[in-house]
Amino acid sequence: MYLCVYNPVNSIFNNCLLFLITLKSYNICYLVYNLKNLLFYILIYCVFFITLIMSDICRPIAQLTFGGCGGMYNYSLGIASVIQKNFDLCDVAISGASAGCFPAFLLALGMDVDELFESWNIPFLNEVNKNYFGALCKWNNTVRRCTLPKFPVDAYIRAHSRLFCSLTSFPDFKNHIISDWKSNEDLLDGIMASAFVPLFDVCKISACFRGHRFIDGSLSNSYPLPHSLDIPSFIIRRDMWRSNKASWLWCWSDEVWARKLFEWGKCDAYEHLEEIGVVLLPITSNNS
């Protein structure tokens, strides 16, 4: 048995020889036939070569992942703020699971983390805090109502193949990483599905996204890496730099606590800039 491997270069060379032979023999039919074959193989080779070039161009230089963090998303926002100010994220694939999708989203779209912490997050927490039971049964609806108006009109276009969200399908608990967004509503639905916890909604055990049921993405993949492992990655875990209590995972709506977590995230990130810089490129005058 012979193993045949297609080689476009050999095919082009062979067809060039046939074309020259028929050209010398002045056989018009064979001349046209071999010219057609020659052009066909040249086209295949061009497509093959362009595909290789484009796959290399589209390949990110690094991956940045925000793991599931629950109520500690404020801490992750603080880390995101420091990363945004100090590192170039132009060619970085950014992903998130559960509440980690929110800082991932802001960085993927280049939205000012500090400004949105004040204009989106704090008013949203104060809105939740008006409820007698706080986040219980009210969190998801309040997030949706307060978040969608903050989306740029082209958010889903800018997030396409740039923001990767980890979702867990229900009831089979399989992982899905989504990055092809259809609209702003579709983008928010995906983020909410990744962060869905039944305690934070009324009479729902799962979220609906594109006609299917999903729950918290961190249950199947808390640290999604959409590209191959040979691409350098920096994974943000809620306890990577600071020990924390399980109770901190609850989505507390207290503004003072949220600000403390945000400042802790900033402080820890600044103390570990060198560690982050092993994977991400710093902002310079050339790429700022």
What sign does the CA torsion over 114, 120, 123, 125 have? negative
CB 191 within 8 A of CB 66: no
CB 214 within 8 A of CB 192: no
As given in the structure block, the two tokens for residue 158 are 């800018």
Residue that the structure tokens 């704090």 belong to? 122
DSSP character at residue 34: H
Q: What is the pTM of this model?
A: 0.78
Q: Bridge partners of 92?
A: 62
Would you state the pLDDT for residue 28? 59
Would you state the pLDDT for residue 129? 79
Would you state the pLDDT for residue 128? 83
Smallest CA-to-CA distance from 257 within 61, 124, 75, 62 is with 75
State how beta strands 87-88 and 281-282 pair.
antiparallel
Would you state the pLDDT for residue 133? 66
DSSP string for 200-250: GSSS-SSEEETTEEEE-GGGT-SS---S-TTS-EEEE-TTSSS---GGGGS
Would you state the pLDDT for residue 11? 58
Local confidence pLDDT in tens for the 288 residues of the chain: 434 444 555 555 555 555 555 555 555 555 555 555 656 656 655 554 444 444 444 568 899 999 999 889 999 999 999 999 999 999 999 999 999 999 999 999 999 999 999 999 999 898 887 776 666 667 778 888 889 999 999 999 999 999 999 999 999 999 999 999 999 999 999 999 999 887 766 667 889 999 999 999 999 999 999 998 889 999 999 999 999 898 898 888 899 999 999 999 999 999 999 999 999 999 886 555
Would you state the pLDDT for residue 38? 56
Would you state the pLDDT for residue 144? 87
Would you state the pLDDT for residue 62? 95
Q: 3-state class of 54 per DSSP?
A: helix
